[in-house]
Each structure stands twice: as structure tokens, then as C-alpha cells.
Amino acid sequence: MEKEVSDFIQDSGQIKKKFQPMNKIERSILHDVVEVAGLTSFSFGDDDECRYVMIFKKEFAPSDEELDSYRRGEEWDPQKAEEKRKLKELAQRQEEEAAQQGPVVVSPTSDYKDKYSHLIGKGAAKDAAHMLQANKTYGCVPVANKRDTRSIEEAMNEIRAKKRLRQSGEELPPTS
């Protein structure tokens, strides 16, 4: 292994080397040898029997896309990768342009009043709008109409007293 790694380092025309499938111990030894030599190594493959090691020179370290293709069991093709990158950029630009244009306004082709006129009638909405009157005393309830005439403090004190009684296990006194 050391000789193969040394030959790889000496050969300036080679930027990566794929080793034959090997077992876990051999792969571990190869990774150690490669690390000592100052190179980068990765293992690829699904099963223990068919996993192999690929080594790269540091100055030619693989990109994430290249590593992903090796992990999927495919050969790395820089031209395909460049095409995919361009397609991603184009899709991203189109999304940005669509976002800048704002939301799409949707207008229905028919009017719901016409569609449901047989149920609600032609003038039902107008009649309802004319009959609707605003409650001018909204939020102002006369004291005589209130069911509970206690103040907030009195109500909270009574709630606390009931809790204390429940916790002590005593019977609750009748409330008026």
C-alpha cells in the first residue's frame, strides 16, 4: 500500500486513485498511510465486501457534488456537474424573479352570488345589509343587567378561599 501511495504522489499526472475493494482493516490501514502522506482519502460502496478507497491529492480535493456521485456509485462527470449547477442557478434566479413580482392575483371566473342565487335569492344580501344596525352601546352593559355584582377583588378572594378549602379536604360552604 505504501508503495502504491508513494507512486501516486510521484506521478504528477494523476490527481486521484481508486483502489480495489478491500476489507475494513485494510481500508483502515490505507486511510492511515494516506493521512501520514498528506493526502485525502474517502471510502465508497455499500457492502463491506465491495467498499473501496479513493485517494486524492490535497490540492485536488473533491467537491461535495463529486463525493455525492461516488457515494451513489456513479462516475464523476465534470460536464454533467456544470450543467446541473447552471440549471440550479437558473431555477434560483427564476424563483427570485417570481418573488420580486409579488403574489399572483387570482380572479374567479364566476360570481358566487349567481352560482348560489337559487339558495339565497337575488336580494337577500341587500335586505340583510339594510336590516343590520350597529349596537351603539357595545361594551357598555348597565349594572342592573350584570349577573355578578362582585368586584374583581371579591371574586378572586372567593376563588382563593375555595382552593384553600379543597386542599385542606374540608367541605365547601354553600355559596349564595
> Which distant-in-sequence residues (6+ apart) come within 8 Å of 166 by Cβ?
172
Residue range 115-171, pLDDT digits in tens: 777 777 776 666 665 665 656 666 666 666 777 778 889 989 999 999 999 988 765
Other beta carbons within 10 angstroms of residue 175's beta carbon come to: 6
Average pLDDT, stretch 34-41? 89
Domains of the chain plus CATH, in order, are: 1-77 (3.30.1370.50), 135-167 (no CATH)
* Cβ–Cβ under 8 Å, residues 55 and 5: yes
| Neighbour tally for 5: CB within 10 Å | 19
Give the torsion sign (CA, 84, 87, 91, 92).
positive
Cβ atoms 50, 21 nearer than 8 A: yes
pTM for the whole thing? 0.47
What is the Cβ-side half-sphere exposure of residue 25, based on CA atoms within 13 angstroms?
0
Half-sphere exposure of 147 (CA within 13 A, CB side): 1
The confidence score (pLDDT) of residue 171 equals 58
Residue 131, pLDDT score: 60
Which phi and psi (to 5°) does residue 24 adopt?
-60, -45
- Concatenated DSSP letters for 11-26? -TT-SEEEPPP--HHH
